[in-house]
Amino acid sequence: MVGRQVIRDIPSTYEDDEMLNLNDLQIFVWVVDHGGFTAASRALRIPKQTLSKRVAELERRAGVRLIQRTSRSFAVTDLGRELHRHAAAMMIEAEAAENAMLGRLAEPSGIVRITASVPTVQTKLAGLLPRIAATYPKVRVVLHASDRFVDIVQEGFDIALRTHSAPLPNSDLVQRRVETDEFWLVASPTYLAGRTSREPGSIHGLDGIFAVEGKAIWELKNGDRASCSATLVSRYVANEEAAILAAARSGLGIASLPSTMCRNDIRAGRLIRVCDGWVAGEITTTMLFPHRRGLLPSVRVVADMLVEALADQD
């Protein structure tokens, strides 16, 4: 482990122009992860006084209190939680860099539990995860598809994939951005027969397939950062993307779908992109995992393969 290997060289003081010491950041992460100095000392076999001294030095250098502690209580401050989130992610990247340099010392093995929404499983993971499992025979993948909110720490998941239009809220989870997908306007050749659909103005008043009842307008942008709105007639409403895709294929009207979901239909001629060059928003896929378990080799290799494969999808 990166921190364990360098902890022997902990400096006693900082120079005035020195950045925060990485060893002290690692100790801070360990202490917070174990819920206190005593538990961290017992688990890591490092004297409690050493841990306390290093965290105190980190606080002195930062100029703020990171942990409120007494003989009976231990509480991480708001700034401490923010620092912990970034420091934990940094330690993961440091370990990944070390492993890349030194090579894999052992074949990854064990269970990797993954959770994602049903559409994400259907469109992104269903065909991908079996290939990952075949690459690492000693890794057992457990996939859980659910559209409810999943507390990945409490429910014991190693990796969560979340798709979102707005930034995810701050949390103690490590976030790793995977991809950003554009929403394209598409319709079937049958529906578009004889209709002009190159510019946003040409689709005003046409039939639209929407995800939300009562909404019949799209805000569009193009590569030149120009923006406009397109108002259609709400012909069909479905709050599930596979259903929207099926409705577009059947010729009910124009739909807004992630490009990765409709690209194959466009290539096959089942759908045509409407207003080419304009997009109706973006959706980001982010990988979340608890940093404590993110250090496991099996979790790391699965996460890396997921990121590489999903980023390469076109």
Q: What is the pTM of this model?
A: 0.57
pLDDT of amino acid 90: 84
The one-character DSSP state at 106 is S
Other Cβ atoms less than 10 A from the Cβ of 64: the count is: 12
Which domains does the chain show, CATH number per domain?
Answer: 2-102 (1.10.10.10), 110-175+284-312 (3.40.190.10), 181-282 (3.40.190.290)
pLDDT of amino acid 11: 43
CB-based burial label for 224 (10 Å; 0-12, 13-18, 19+) = exposed
Short-list 86, 264, 156, 313, CA closest to 305: 313
Residues 6+ apart with CB under 8 A from 168: 162, 175, 286, 288
Q: Which DSSP helix (H) or strand (E) runs through 24? A: helix 22-34
pLDDT of amino acid 70: 78
pLDDT of amino acid 199: 87
Q: Residue 30 corresponds to which tokens in the numbers above? A: 């360990």
For the chain (length 314 residues), average pLDDT per consecutive 10?
41 51 88 89 89 90 86 85 88 74 64 90 88 90 89 88 80 83 94 84 93 90 86 93 94 94 93 93 88 70 88 67
